[in-house]
Amino acid sequence: MSAKKKLPTIAIIGRPNVGKSSLFNRLLGKQLSIVDSTEGVTRDRIYTVVERFSQSFGLIDTGGLSFNDQNIFQKDIETQVHLALDQCQGFFFVVDGKSGIHPLDHVIANLIRNQGKPCVVAVNKLDSDDHMAHIADFFELGYQKTVGISAKQNLGLTVLVDSILKDCEPGKVSAPSVKHTIAILGRPNVGKSSLINKLSNSERVIVSEKSGTTRDSIDVQVKYNGHIYTFIDTAGLRYNKKIKESIEFFSATRTQKSLERCDIAMVMIDANDGISTQDLKIIRMIDDAGKACALIVNKWDMFSGIHQKDYMLDQAYKLKPYKHIPNLFISATEGKNTGKILDLISFLDKEQHQRISTGILNRFFQKIVKATPPPRRRGSLVKFYYISQVDRLPPTFQISVNNKELLDASYLNLIKNKLRLAFGFTGTPIRLNIQDKK
C-alpha cells in the first residue's frame, strides 16, 4: 500500500458492553483493546490502520455511550466519541443481537444520523441461528444497511467491511513511515496522558486526576521535522503483590507489551514524589528489555528556588545503577520543555545505534587494562585477548579471555563505565558477553 494513499476511517460506536472492542480486535486480527464485561473499560478512542479483508482503512474504537451521570468518566468518553464522530468517514453502529433493541440504541442512532455519514448497523452476538432471527428487529433504528455478525466467532465481518467501505469517501489517514516508537511509562497519575496531549496538540487521551484513567495502551502519532513519532500512552504501573482487578492486570500486561515494541522508553515521575521503589522497578524492567531510557521529571512548575542539579543529587543514591540515564524537567500542563523531548529522543537513538570499530575498541581496552588491571582471583590473573562490538539495540560487546571465572561483577561494571566515558551510550544499557578463548 502506498504511504500517500488516503484511507477512510470508520468509527465503532455503541452503548457499553455490546462488543465494540471485540469487533475492533477481530477486525484488526489481534487484541489491541481490552475486552471486559465491566461498563466503561474503553475510555479513550483507539486508532489503528487495518489491512485485511483485501481492504485498507482506519479504525477507531470508542468508549460505550451510556449518558450516565453516575459514571465519572462518561463526560470524557462522550467528548472522545464526538471527536471520533467528526474525524471519521463512516460508522459501525454496534448493537446487541441477543438482548434486542435498547432505548439507548435509538438515542445513538439519532446521534449518528445527524452526522450525515455512511453507517452500517452491526448486529453483534448472533452466535447461533436462533439469534439470527432477531436481526430484522433492528431495521427499526432506521438504517437500510444492517448486517448480522458474531465478533466472538468471526462471522459476517467481510460483508460488514464491504458494506461500509463502498460508500465512504477517502479520509486523511495513511500508513505513515514511523521513525521512532516511544513508550511513556510511569506510576498512575504522574501526567503521561497530559504530556502526549501537549505533544500532539489535541485532547487525544482522557486526562483525569483519578489514577487508573488510561486502561489501554494508546498509540498517538506526532509529526516533527518531517518524521513521524509514535508515542504509546500506557496505563500507570503499580507493583502490588496482588492486583485484584482483572482490567488493571491486563493494563499492566499491555504496558509490558508496549515496552517490547518500543524503540525508546521514557519513565515519567511526579517531581513532588521523587523516584519511588516502583519507578526503579520500571527502570529495571526497561533495562532488562535492552531499551534506551530517559527520566522525565514532570510538574516542575510547582517548584521554585530549587535547582534541577540539587534535585537530582538528592535522588542520585536511588539511581546509582542507572547513572547513564539522562533526565529532563518539564511541565506537561504548561508545555514547559515538552518540545525538548523530541530532541532527546533523537539523541538517545543516535547513542544506542553507535557501532565502534574493533580496532578502536581494542586500543581503548588495552589502556583500561594497563591503567586498572583486574585483581587476581584464586591466585590467577585473567588475560584479555580482544573485544569487539557484536550487536546494537542494545550495544553488545564480546570479550575473549583465558578464563571468564576470574572476572568479577565489579570489574565488568568498571568496563561498562569506561565504555560510557569514552563513547557515550547515554541512556542505553550495555551488554558484555565474556567468552573463554578456545
193 and 309 share a domain? Answer: yes
Q: Look at 33-47, 145-159, 357-371, 422-436 and tell me which has the smallest mean pLDDT.
A: 33-47
Cβ contacts of 219-223, under 8 Å, gap ≥ 24: 219/47, 219/48, 220/196, 221/176, 221/178, 222/342
- The reply to whether 188 and 122 lie within a common domain is no
Q: Which of the listed ranges 172-186, 225-239, 341-355 does the model predict with the highest average pLDDT?
A: 341-355
Q: Where residue 418 sits, what CATH number does that domain have?
A: 3.30.300.20
**110 and 24 in a common domain:** yes
pTM score, whole prediction = 0.61
**Structure confidence at residue 31 (pLDDT):** 53
Count other C-beta atoms under 10 Å from residue 402's C-beta. Answer: 13
Q: pLDDT band at 101, cuts 50/70/90?
A: very high
Largest CA distance in the chain: 89
Residue 108: predicted pLDDT: 92
- Compute the distance between CA of residue 184 and CA of residue 196 in angstroms, rounded to an integer: 9
The region of weakest confidence among 77-86, 181-190, 272-281 is 77-86
Examine residue 390 and state whether it is found in any structural domain, yes or no: yes
Q: Is pLDDT of 223 > 60?
A: yes
Number of domains in the chain: 3
Amino acid letter for position 255: T
Task: Return the pLDDT at 436.
Answer: 93
pLDDT of residue 417 exceeding 90, the answer is yes
State how far the Cα of 93 lies from the Cα of 96, in Å rounded to an integer.
10
Q: For the residues 155-174, what does the mean pLDDT come to?
A: 84
Residue 36 has pLDDT above 90, yes or no: no
What residues have CB less than 8 Å from 191, skipping those under 6 apart?
268, 270, 298, 299, 332, 333
- Assess whether pLDDT exceeds 60 at residue 213: no
Average pLDDT over residues 9-20: 91
pLDDT digits (tens, 9 = 90+) for 314-323: 999 999 999 9
Same domain (yes/no): 259, 299: yes
Mean pLDDT of the chain: 83
Whether 68 maps to a domain, the answer reads: yes
Burial class of residue 307 in the structure, from the number of CB atoms within 10 Å of its CB (0-12 exposed, 13-18 middle, 19+ buried): exposed
The reply to whether 151 and 232 lie within a common domain is no
Going by C-alpha positions, the residue among 61, 346, 51, 12 that lies closest to residue 164 is 12
The verdict on 362 and 346 lying in the same domain is: no
Residue 404 pLDDT: 92
Amino acid occupying residue 355: R
The length of the chain, given as a count of residues: 438
Q: Which residues contact 235 (CB under 8 A, 6 or more apart)?
A: 188, 212, 214, 215, 216, 217, 248, 251, 252, 254, 255
pLDDT in tens, 390-411: 999 999 999 999 999 999 999 9
Q: Which residues constitute the domain of residue 331?
A: 178-352
What H or E segment, with its residue span, contains residue 151?
none
Do residues 216 and 309 both lie within one domain? yes
Query: 20 and 142: one domain?
Result: yes
Of 321, 199, 202, nearest in space to 268 by CA: 199
For the ranges 259-263, 280-284, 334-338, 384-388, the lowest mean pLDDT is seen at 259-263
**Quick check: 48 pLDDT over 70?**
yes
Q: For strands 264-270 and 178-186, give the pairing.
A: parallel
CA 264 – CA 287 distance, rounded (Å): 11
Does pLDDT of 95 surpass 50?
yes
Mean pLDDT over residues 135-145, rounded? 90
Q: Pick the residue with more confidence: 169 or 330?
A: 330
Sign (positive or negative) of CA dihedral 163, 16, 37, 80: positive
Residue range 252-279, pLDDT digits in tens: 566 677 788 899 999 999 999 999 988 9
pLDDT reported for residue 34: 39
Q: How confident is the model at residue 214 (pLDDT cuts 50, 70, 90)?
A: very low
**Unique residue bearing C-alpha cell 538517545:** 348
pLDDT number for residue 81: 80
Residue 370 lies in a domain: yes
pLDDT at 38 over 60: no
Q: In angstroms, rounded to a whole number, what is the distance separating the alpha carbons of residues 177 and 118? A: 29
- CA-nearest of 253, 172, 179 to 221 is 179
pLDDT of residue 370: 93
Do 112 and 27 share a structural domain? Answer: yes
d(CA 148, CA 55): 20
Element (H, E) at 413: helix 409-423
Whether pLDDT at 102 is above 90: yes
pLDDT at position 232: 85
- The total of other beta-carbon atoms located within 10 Å of residue 240's CB is 10
Residue whose entry in the numeric block shows the C-alpha cell 471486559: 36
Contact 72, 52 (CB under 8 A): no
**Do residue 213 and residue 103 come from a single domain?**
no
Report the CATH number at residue 321: 3.40.50.300
Q: Are residues 152 and 202 in the same domain?
A: no
Strand arrangement, sheet containing 384-391: 384-391, 396-401, 431-436
Residue among 64, 9, 66 nearest 35 (CA): 64
284 vs 205: which has the higher pLDDT: 284
